[in-house]
Structure 1
Amino acid sequence: MKAELNITLIARGCAITGDMVVDHGISCFGLLDGGIISTQGLLHIGEGGLIKGTAQGEHVRIDGRVDGDVHARGSLEINGQVSGDIFYCGTIRLGPRAALNGTLKRVARMLTIEAQTEQKQGAVADARPSDSASGERVESNVTDISRVIA
């Protein structure tokens, strides 16, 4: 049986506004004005690709540009530009064209993504709107993607 390869491609000339969460690999050669999380596989920011937000993934390769923090649980390879803090726990490789403007921090695997997501998720959960008349919380039927991304 042949294994399926799941990957999302953001092509050159494509611009996406908002946050993305995928459970497979992703290659970005366009513009993503928001954060991106790839829970499995490779998160690749190709040449000409630009992420204006946080980039989080298992294996991260940056040949383009990220204006935001980068979180890598496994391997991290940078041949492009990063303007933000970098958190990694596996291996890191900086290529000859790597340009970093921020801090580089090696952290425990659980601190690369999961712990920050839980902390901020709790803050979002506590900030749910309340009914002004009764003071009770109003549950929304709309999923707030920022709980996952933020």
Structure 2
Amino acid sequence: MLNRKRSDRAPASHASDTSLIARGTLIRGDVRFSGTLHLDGQIEGSVLAEEDGAVFTLSESGIVQGEIRVPHAIINGRVQGDIHATERLELAPEARIIGDVHYRTLEMAAGAQVNGRMSHHAVELPRELPAPSLAGAEPVPA
């Protein structure tokens, strides 16, 4: 298997692409990504996912000073800014957030801290249900 040529492998999808920002690295400005972004360093700016399946992971050494807008976030570091997780937000024990948190699904471990509002955004359902079909229905006795 070690000698297989690259052409023998299945093409990699964007969802399997992983980027790492290492400890000691400081980025000033917005970061846009697809696939997976793992942050051990620091970002002074927004973190924005460019696809629906994107995952952002902030390790306990990681810091974000800005807004985070992603489908799935796993936070175990410090965030100073709002978080918008359109699908799932996981707050690990070392998560420290100063800002509002918007999520569809939330998992919060003991020890995680949020200093701001927490706002659940459910999937919107239609306001009216379709009328039931009466075809083949038996009459209801009076």
Normalised by the size of structure 1, how large is the TM-score?
Answer: 0.68
Richer in strand (by share): 2
Q: Which residue of 2 aligns with 1:21?
A: 32
Q: Are the equivalent residues in 2 in contact too, given 1:73–1:109 (CA < 8 A)?
A: no
* Residues in 2 aligned to 1:3 and 1:56: alpha-carbon distance in whole angstroms: 28
* Residues in 2 aligned to 1:77 and 1:92: alpha-carbon distance in whole angstroms: 6
Q: Secondary structure at the match of 1:75?
A: strand
**Is 2:14 the partner of 1:6?**
no
In structure 2, the CA distance between the partners of 1:11 and 1:97, relative to structure 1 (3 Å rule), is: same
Larger radius of gyration: 2
Normalised by the size of structure 2, how large is the TM-score?
Answer: 0.71
Richer in helix (by share): 1
Count of residues in Structure 1 that have an aligned counterpart in Structure 2: 109
In structure 2, the CA distance between the partners of 1:109 and 1:7, relative to structure 1 (3 Å rule), is: farther
* Residues in 1 aligned to 2:78 and 2:19: alpha-carbon distance in whole angstroms: 18
| Structure 2 residue corresponding to 1:50, chosen from 63, 88, 97 | 63
Unmatched segments (≥5 aa) in structure 1:
111-150
Matching residue's letter, 2:111: R
Q: Which residue of 2 aligns with 1:83?
A: 98
Superposed CA RMSD: 1.6
Once the two structures are superposed, the pairs formed by residues 51-130 of structure 1 within 5 Å of their partners are: 51-79=64-92, 80-89=95-104, 91-108=105-122
Matching residue's letter, 2:57: H
Deviation at 1:102, TM superposition (A): 0.1
**Is 2:14 the partner of 1:33?**
no
Unmatched segments (≥5 aa) in structure 2:
1-8, 125-142
* Identity rate, percent: 29
Deviation at 1:38, TM superposition (A): 1.8
Runs (4+) of structure 1 exceeding 3 A deviation are none
Q: Which residue of 2 aligns with 1:125?
A: none
